[in-house]
Structure 1
Amino acid sequence: MERITRGLLLLSALVAGLAVLAILGFLVWLSLPLLCGEGLTQVLSWRWRPFQGEFGILPMLVGSLCLSTTSMSVALPMGLGLCCFAHGVGPRKPAALAMGVVRFMTSVPTVVYGFVAVFLLVPLVRAAFASGSGFSWLAASLTLSLLVLPTVVLMLHAQFELIEQRVRLTTAALGLTRAQAVRYVVLPAARRGLLAASALGFGRAVGDTLVPLMLAGNAPQVPGSLLDAMRTLTAHIALVVATDSQSTAYLSLFACGLILFVTSVAVNLTLRSLNRSDGGRA
């Protein structure tokens, strides 16, 4: 029975690995016609004007990175604060209620976040700053931060619980309150959990399509401020995928997919290396 279990686990790991390699090979193969020769300079440029023969996707790449970074800069502190509140800083009943709300947020479809933000957040941004239509980097960033918040909170929550189980007797012997234990023991020991939560949250933000598609304004430009419209790689793929499958614009989508794939792998490998070095010092 043990051999069968090991064999099934090994088979599952091989299938998963081969699936990832197949996706990478598919994207590389279909990107080659555009990435060879002059096509590479067309794609790696700053202008998207398909009717004028300009197919630059760098503005969308910058848009994806900017939107994901600002979303995580909001979601990570909020998630960390909520976990600290739930694990000793706040009263038990409100803390349990807050965690219940976070768990419920994981079941809400992404389109609901976007739909509500279109009618509530976008008019608020437009009225508050009296600039533009309200469909902007800021509106998309705030909504996306709510979308990735449950991922961050639940990852940190699991890490906090694991650490608390290991240090419960020690903190009790030292006479520390729950809040003091979180501040002086749990938080310093949760650095690896913070890195993992950052990786998962960033990957969730980079890969989301509906929020930037509905709220960011979809302008293929590098935003100069939080009130400017922008377009991400995922939204760009959704917008252009309906074009002629033989056109250069359509082929550029595979380059977008390849960049998203490579960016995701690079972020995860970087965070994993940081995780190892941090674990070695812990």
Structure 2
Amino acid sequence: MSRRERLVRKILGTATLCAAALPLSILIFMLILARPLLSSFSVSDLLTGSWAPLQGRYGILPMMVASFLLASCSLAVSFPVSLGCAGLIFGLTPPMLAVPLRRLVQLMTGFPTVVYGFVGVFLLVPTVRHLFHAGSGRCLLSALVPLSLMITPTMTLFFSDAFAAVPRPILLAAAAAGADPVQRFVWVVIPSARRGLAAGLVLSFGRALGDTLIALMLAGNAAQVPSGFLESARTLTAHIALVIAADLQSLEFASIFLCGMVLYVLTSCAALCAWKMRAATRKNSR
């Protein structure tokens, strides 16, 4: 091994160690800054209690429930749309339509989140307010629709890649058996790409869970466990944005780092699950 190769290996090894240490250092940083809250209350009280700082309660359960509910429902809404768009891109339409559709989906992934938020504020919130008489109109439903629209392009591209990874001999065998394109897609492509579909779902769930602006602008930001989609709610990310903008020296400020740790753990688990699923899919397709 030459001297230049040894130098390159050392540089790459150092970069790898730094990349691995950075996420861990962020977690330790949040743990240190959340220590005043963790030393005053038990973890179970913080994770299962309500948010009422004037009464000395700093539980983040309402924010956790709102985050999970909003992310799960937006995933349920966008899944069939993304699956259909990915099917069209994969081959259910002629290439002259499939290629522009894929380009459009790729373009939509670059739209800033604040664009969806502004459209929701000036179009969706008044509609919800007048149709359902839901107070100000800022509720889970108002945040659900643009969040579903935001994660649909990302999910569509993941699904398209999963469909493209299906081994061609399987498709040829299905065509030789007399299956038409729709039958091949439903009975062959989707089952063969199930791991890739699951990876796309998990990663899209992580993106929906970590969104801040849509929930902050449209969900209403009431720190309560929502009883319906027309109720206002505050997500973990919105709570972080609201508290850090108004308070810097209190237990309320320490609570944002607890929220950050919860988000960190959830999104890390989602990313690891998606990575393992995609690795298994690539291994099986070889």
Tell me if TM exceeds 0.5.
yes
Pick from 250, 253, 258 the counterpart of residue 256 of structure 2.
253
Deviation, structure 1 residue 20: 0.9
Determine if contact 2:138/2:232 at 8 Å carries over to the other structure.
yes
Q: Which runs of 5+ in 2 are unaligned?
A: none
Deviation, structure 1 residue 167: 4.2
Alignment of 1:227-266 (within 5 A): 227-266=230-269
User: Which has the larger displacement, 179-188 or 159-168?
Assistant: 159-168
State the Cα deviation string for residues 189-221 of structure 1 (Å, max 9, x = none): 101111110111011011110000000011101
Using the alignment, how far apart are the partners of 1:37 and 1:245 within structure 2? 18
Using the alignment, how far apart are the partners of 2:57 and 2:215 within structure 1? 23
Matched, 1:25 2:59: no
Taking a change above 3 Å as real, the CA distance of residues 6 and 101 of structure 1, as seen in their structure-2 partners, is same
Q: TM-score, normalised by structure 2?
A: 0.87
Deviation, structure 1 residue 237: 0.3
Using the alignment, how far apart are the partners of 1:118 and 1:152 within structure 2? 24
Identity fraction in percent? 43
Aligned to 1:158: 161
Pick from 173, 179, 182 the counterpart of residue 179 of structure 1.
182
Determine if contact 1:136/1:228 at 8 Å carries over to the other structure.
yes
Using the alignment, how far apart are the partners of 2:215 and 2:135 within structure 1? 16
Using the alignment, how far apart are the partners of 1:155 and 1:169 within structure 2? 23
Aligned to 2:229: 226
State the Cα deviation string for residues 158-202 of structure 1 (Å, max 9, x = none): 121222656454445445443333223211110111111011101
Matched, 1:57 2:60: yes
Using the alignment, how far apart are the partners of 2:267 and 2:218 within structure 1? 23
Pick from 119, 139, 146 the counterpart of residue 116 of structure 1.
119
Aligned to 1:44: 47
Q: Which runs of 5+ in 1 are unaligned?
A: none
Specify the code of the residue in structure 2 equivalent to 1:178: P
Specify the code of the residue in structure 1 equivalent to 2:148: S
Using the alignment, how far apart are the partners of 1:274 and 1:150 within structure 2? 20
- What is the Cα-based RMSD across aligned positions, in Å? 2.7
Q: TM-score, normalised by structure 1?
A: 0.88
Aligned to 1:205: 208
